[in-house]
Chain A
């Protein structure tokens, strides 16, 4: 990989809660190269959004980014910037699209105003010029009748259009990095597909880097060039997209792949007949749930849910092993090939 555009180094974020200190993000290092789409996946609560919000420093107390964390962009550590300098990055160099199109727009301001605001705060643009840019941005994201829409309020638009508006708002200044936090989760399937196609198209045209956060491995398969898998506040696996789908090394990643509707083998030896046997369409899910961030398990954080775990996993936290130059996995199996060979086929990375 070439010199990364955005580089997250050992990011640690804690929340002081009543139940103790939640280590929501616990030592994440992640590089985003110019022009690539990096998928960030993982179950709910594993720290994807907190990671994303940290990049723009949008977290508010009780969240705390621990000292020692670094996020580099343009040769500067964003976490060390004064607030004023950070503001000039937000919306201009790094933009973000959020999960909830219904509530992410201000209900009492017009769409045009909300987009033009980004232009006006970062550039000395006149009201009219900013407005024209807003209309152009709406047009770019495929909103029909952009002039009229610019004069409307969020409640007058459908969910899909609102998400397009959020995209227009994020892209109006052509940022180098776009962070999209589950941009389509709240939308229905056809609208989702349209928006993802739009996102891919814009990414190509504007040449920006995208950190695409999602639950949906199908989305990742379609759009991303690389994938990072998160579990319990840590990255557990990272690989180019084909490599990951073909040879996932971490049992957690394998579990996610099996649970993905469009990717799970429909008629393979494990698609039916297993624990959830009862039809070819049934999915396997990873047993158990993500533990609370206040009490990550000892050793490997996944060991209590892992069918391949042995005593070492409970005792000793695995480091992130380099499987090859572009593939890393945080699993003892990656260092013990003999043990891998002894495992049943489902856990050796032959999902596809």
Chain B
């Protein structure tokens, strides 16, 4: 188990390094550099431009820039952001909690809603409820996220202004709110972006979970459960769902990468100051160090997601928990249960 985690961590670091290198190379292959916007002005003397490029190290050959970049990263120095005029690490540190808050909420919401929808559908299999929920999730599933975000914004903060249009807090009144009201203010700001971000994934999970539940529906242990006198709900939730969750857990890792990329649009639409917004702005400003930092964060999140998914899977499926007695004989180290 421990060796498994170590192996997966090494894997995650390797992936992050590869993604970082790839991003670095791709960015530098594109024309222009961070100073292009402000400096490539005929009125600025070439010598001045050259000077600033030298200051930022942009005049060095690519391999040299890369090595300098890597040594910086190794020291925890992600470089200096031209567009924010502060160290990249400061920008990232501000944005990451916001993204984690948004993606985390969306993750919980989407799995809770998706699984609940699937359970209801399967309990009412073949009825109008089942088909209606199926149609809704198929519809949601085929919508683009930026479109959904804009429609949600229009609908619930403009036509029907029940939620704020953007940001994480109300900058005017927030400082004067008590703890409960302040928390409510945060939640109100979180609802629209989190629900929009969760909706598509929830639809995806619902479809997958429904299929997984129907897949185990004919399993023998469900017949045993029925013969014990359990109610259909208990059978569905305690016996069928516990087994049908296993394939859905593997979606956890995948959904995290969906959230990271989905967050780019959704954060931008709702003015949510997370990694997604920072990344979009940085691309606009050709702020290389920030773009690369965002990529690194993204790949760390995705790697962490798949690691967590694997750990959850092992937790949920006792057959994968090793180091326990096998058939009858090895009763010595068996401490399953708990």
Contacts and interface: CB of A to CB of B under 8 A. Distances in A.
A109 interface: yes
Given A145-B331, A151-B337, A109 B230 contact: no
Contacts of A28: none
A110 B336 contact: yes
Interface stretch (B35-43, B189-197, B215-223, B260-268): B215-223
A116 to B, nearest CB: 11
Contacts of A152: 324-325, 334, 336-337
B220 A153 contact: no
Nearest to B325: A156
Residue among A104, A110, A121, A156 with the highest chain B CB neighbour number at 10 A:
A156
Interface of B: 219-221, 223-231, 234, 238-239, 242-243, 246, 316-319, 324-328, 331, 334-338
A281 B319 CA distance: 43
Nearest to A110: B337
A158 B328 contact: yes
A106 B228 contact: no
Given A98-B223, A155-B319, A106 B239 contact: yes
A95 B337 contact: no
A133 to B, nearest CB: 14
Nearest to A89: B229
Interface residues of A, number: 38
Contact of B326 (A92, A151, A156): A156
Nearest to B218: A60
Which 3 pairs across A and B sit closest by C-beta, in order of nearness? Answer: A151-B337, A90-B229, A91-B229
24 contacts: A58-B226, A58-B227, A87-B231, A90-B226, A90-B229, A92-B229, A98-B223, A98-B227, A106-B224, A106-B239, A107-B221, A107-B319, A109-B242, A110-B336, A118-B229, A150-B337, A151-B337, A151-B338, A152-B336, A155-B318, A155-B319, A156-B325, A157-B328, A158-B327
Contacts of A100: 220
Contacts of A166: 224
Interface of A: 56, 58, 87-92, 95-96, 98, 100, 103-110, 112, 117-118, 121-122, 145, 148, 150-153, 155-158, 161, 166, 169
B230 A117 contact: yes
B239 A121 contact: no
B225 A106 contact: yes
Contacts of A148: 331, 334
